[in-house]
Amino acid sequence: MENHDDILAEFILEAREIIDQLDVDFVRFEENPNDQSLVGNIFRGLHTLKGSSGFFSLKRFETLSHAGESLLGKIRAGQITLDLAKSSNLLKMNDVLRQIIEHVEIHHIEPPGDDQGLINSLLGMANADSPDLKPSVQKEDVAEPTTLSIEVEESIEHQDLSELEVNHAPGPGVVVPVKVAPDILDKLMNIASEMVLARNRLLPFSQQSTDKLFTSAVRSIDMLTLELQERMMKMRMQPIFHIWAKFPRLVRDVSLECHKKVRLIQEGSETELDRILLDSIRDPLIHLIRNSIDHSIESPAIRLEKGKPEVADLILRAAHQNGMVIIEVIDDGAGVDYARVRQRAISNGLISPENASTLSNKELINLIFLPGFSTTDKVTNLSGRGVGMDVVKNNIENIGGSIEITSTPNQGTHVKLKIPLTLAILPTLFVQTGGEIFLIPQNRILELVRFAPNAPNNGVEDFYGTPTYRLRDRLIPLLFLNEQLNLPTAPAHPKQKLFVAVLNFNGTIFGLVVEAVLNIQDVVIKPLGELLRDLSKFAGATIMGNGDVALILDVDGIARQSGLVERLDLNPIRQEEKYIPVVEEMVSILLFEIPGLHRIALPLDAIDHIVKLDSAQIQKNGNREVVYFDDQLMDLVRLNNYVSGGTRGGNQGASRVPVLICRYRNGLYGLMVKQVTDIIEVPAKLHELATPQKGLSGSIVYKDQVINVLDLEEVLIMHNIQEESGEYPQVIDVYLPH
């Protein structure tokens, strides 16, 4: 075979796509054998494979695909009908074609192999109803195109060329996709991440500088870097359909092996996920699907005895929720046999008979994740070895996800996976303990609580040597971060307040106590070096805005190392009620921009009107800018002159200016802004800023984004001082640690 590396690479890529699509189409065709458009698509895909393989002299590939094409040609012409045997042989042919392509990709040559048995089977099925044709032919005869193939090629050859151009030439509005190697995308993402880190280091200098040109340039870099980061993230995102496409074939094969009838229902296949995470969840999902069919779903006869349809439903569902991807695997089978799980746990020595009798259904399900645990006595190709659910759990947790299983006897099993959208950028909570700054992944935090340890009724209780915090009549075991990391304890003072981050570790709710909560920010994750990878309490690191390195905490690692789970097993906290986070009060806010700052908010009930004023309407009245509105003079307030980070004079020259009209102490004020962006509902809880900033009362967290809230009273007080003195009060930009 000649060395055409670039052309060969294109052929391999195209062949993989066609073969993967054939897997899906063969299963669909088996379910709908009368779908002529589908069999036409299958025939064209296989014909393309055969023709392309001949260019590279892939004789084995060409001969096998030609035999499959002959069978499909007869099915397409209506001379024979598709049945299970024909479908199985076509799928087997597709598997062999995939193996050949994988070998060619590595070695640039076909692997040795004898496919004559499969070829004879395919051609025998094609010629079964044609006695004038021999079912078995020689290899050299197979390579000759059939009459059907000649007719197809001739019809294309004699087709009007102008029609071909109309059908295949891209129009002016059609965007031709460009194929990019994954390693190039990964490199670009790394560069974008480094730009984010460099931007973070540059921002503190711009906030402390009085050079307007410098601060303007830094803000432009900030905006461009943010847009570049968002674009790169979108390039890495792929629909989950890319891995779901192979599951119909998997369900078909496993259900046939188990002698069961299963219908796969896929919902939310357009849900997007980071490409790297897609590869990470493929194997866990495959195992969960095989488990559902093998263990939970009953045979058709048993289902009929129970009054169920003989065809079981297996639902695969995906959706975005609170910055995570939720993937669910749901079946309507027999569910988990809790008695069987309890018996196997006792026989394997995992628990004593006394303790086994006290375990709840949820605790019994957790035993399924233990290494070596299996409820099957007989070892088969699908189960019985005790290797599976523990690997699934570890793989999901390694990418920052979690797994939850619920099951009702004779109704089915529901497996829920929570997966982060991406591993490159992570929303985190910055906390401080022992003089050091650490990061907690935000998707692991259920709630934040602040308490005074020295207060008489601080909520802290001792439970068999384990400190606990009483949160809404529920005891939450506590871990102190400084003790877990062997950091010095800060000197206590009477009014000291600590924070508890309520976290979830495999269904166990616990609190991590820290000295201070700083802020929430998206960070770029950097893996730990070789010397630090054995530190199970840390999941990675990031570079902060001041150039320092901050470590990202591994919540699961801290819980394991602390021995918390073992202590709770000895003295379990019996609480039947499910953990329910506090229901947050919501408030409507108006989002707007001012020169130099984005995402500023003001409660909607503080605003009377929103108008646009022509600059010609603005008049000078001494030191004040005023406009005649609603039969009275209204003071105009340029917010960018009073809020930390705003650009002085940024609204000058605008022909029409958005104005928010507010009332304060019987006076009418118009707040001049750059742009009004949205009205949204957000949690009413206001987060205090670590260091006060002029014109801002705090921040609100909405969809993992931090929104600064305008301090209207402080701004108007500063404005009135300026009116009396004729000078703007000094606004000091304060840098918050990143």
Tens digit of each residue's pLDDT (9 = 90 or more) over 264-323: 999 998 888 888 788 888 889 999 999 899 888 999 999 999 999 999 999 999 988 756
Does residue 146 sit in the same domain as residue 223? no
Considering the domain architecture, whether residues 314 and 294 belong to the same structural domain is answered as: yes
Burial of 499 by CB count in 10 Å (0-12 exposed, 13-18 middle, 19+ buried)?
buried
> What pLDDT does 471 receive?
79
Can you tell me the distance from the alpha carbon of 569 to that of 464, in angstroms, rounded to the nearest whole number?
A: 12
- Rounded Cα gap, residues 495 and 515, in angstroms: 13
Mean pLDDT of the chain: 78
Residues 646 and 679 both lie in one domain? yes
The verdict on residue 169 lying in a domain is no
- Give the up-direction half-sphere exposure of residue 711: CA atoms within 13 A in the CB hemisphere: 19
What does the DSSP assignment read for 641-693? GTSTTPPTTTTTT-SEEEEEEEEETTEEEEEE-SEEEEEEEEESPPBPPSS--
- Do the domain assignments include residue 521? yes
In a domain, 178, yes or no: no
Does 538 lie in the same domain as 624?
Answer: no
Total domains present in the chain? 5
Residues 405 and 467 in one domain: no
Going by pLDDT thresholds of 50, 70 and 90, the confidence category of residue 523 is confident
> Hunting for tokens 């993230």 — which residue is that?
233
The CATH number given to whatever domain includes residue 629 is 2.40.50.180
Q: Which domain CATH number covers 395?
A: 3.30.565.10
To 10 degrees, the CA torsion angle through 190, 194, 195, 196? 100
Print burial letters for 229-263: b (CB count within 10 Å at least 16), e (below 16): beebbeebbebbbebbbebbbbbbebbeebebebe
pLDDT tens digits, 404-446: 899 998 899 999 998 877 666 677 888 988 888 999 988 778 8
Q: Give the side-chain half-sphere CA count within 13 A for 580.
A: 8
Predicted pLDDT of residue 328: 93
**Using CA atoms, how far apart are residues 321 and 417, in angstroms rounded to an integer?**
12
**Looking at the structure, do residues 273 and 379 belong to the same domain, yes or no?**
yes
Contacts within 8 Å (CB) and 24+ apart, 196-199? 196/225, 196/229, 196/425, 196/524, 197/524, 197/542, 197/543, 199/225
Whether the model clears a pTM of 0.75, i.e. scores above it, the answer is no
Residue 735 lies inside a defined structural domain of this protein? no
Which of the listed residues 420, 440, 456 is the one where a domain comes to its end?
420
Identify the domain containing residue 72 by its residue range.
Answer: 5-159
Of 36, 140, 142, residue with least CA distance to 82 = 36
705 forms beta bridges with 702
Domain edge (last residue) among 420, 437, 461: 420
Instruction: Please give the helix or strand (H or E) that residue 52 lies within, else none.
Output: helix 36-55
Rounded to whole angstroms, how far apart are CA atoms 151 and 174? 32
pLDDT of residue 297: 93
Please report whether residue 27 resides in a domain.
Answer: yes
**Are 212 and 247 within one domain?**
no
Q: Quick one: 105 exposed, middle or buried, by C-beta within 10 A (0-12, 13-18, 19+)?
A: middle
Q: The CATH number of the domain where 40 resides is what? A: 1.20.120.160
587 phi/psi in degrees, rounded to 5: -140, 145
Q: Which position has the token pair 């309890």? A: 342
In a domain, 533, yes or no: yes
pLDDT band of 383, cuts 50, 70, 90: low
Shared domain for 397 and 432, answered yes or no, is no
Question: Of 14, 41, 44, 36, nearest to 25 (Cα)?
Answer: 41
Span 8-40, pLDDT tens digits: 888 888 888 888 888 888 888 888 888 888 888
658-696: b or e for each residue (b if 16 or more CB lie within 10 Å)?
Answer: bbbbbebeeebbbbbbbeeeeebebeeeebebeeebbbb
Q: What is the DSSP letter of 526?
A: B
The predicted structure's pLDDT at residue 316: 94
Give the strand pairing for 597-603 and 705-710. parallel
Q: Clarify whether residues 447 and 401 are in a common domain.
A: no
Q: Quickly count: other Cβ atoms within 10 Å of residue 461's Cβ.
A: 12
Count Cβ atoms below 10 Å from residue 608 Cβ, excluding itself: 13
Instruction: Classify each residue of 517-528 as buried b or exposed e, where b means 16 or more C-beta atoms within 10 Å of its C-beta.
Output: bbbbbbbbbeee
Question: Are residue 373 and residue 495 in the same domain, yes or no?
Answer: no
Q: Is the domain of 399 the same as that of 429? A: no
If asked whether residues 611 and 594 sit together in one domain, one would say yes
In this prediction, residues 395-401 reach a mean pLDDT of: 78
SS3 category, 594: strand
In a domain, residue 549? The reply is yes
Q: Residue 31: inside a domain, yes or no? A: yes
Domain boundary among 372, 392, 420: 420
Q: How far apart are CA 264 and CA 588, in angstroms?
A: 42
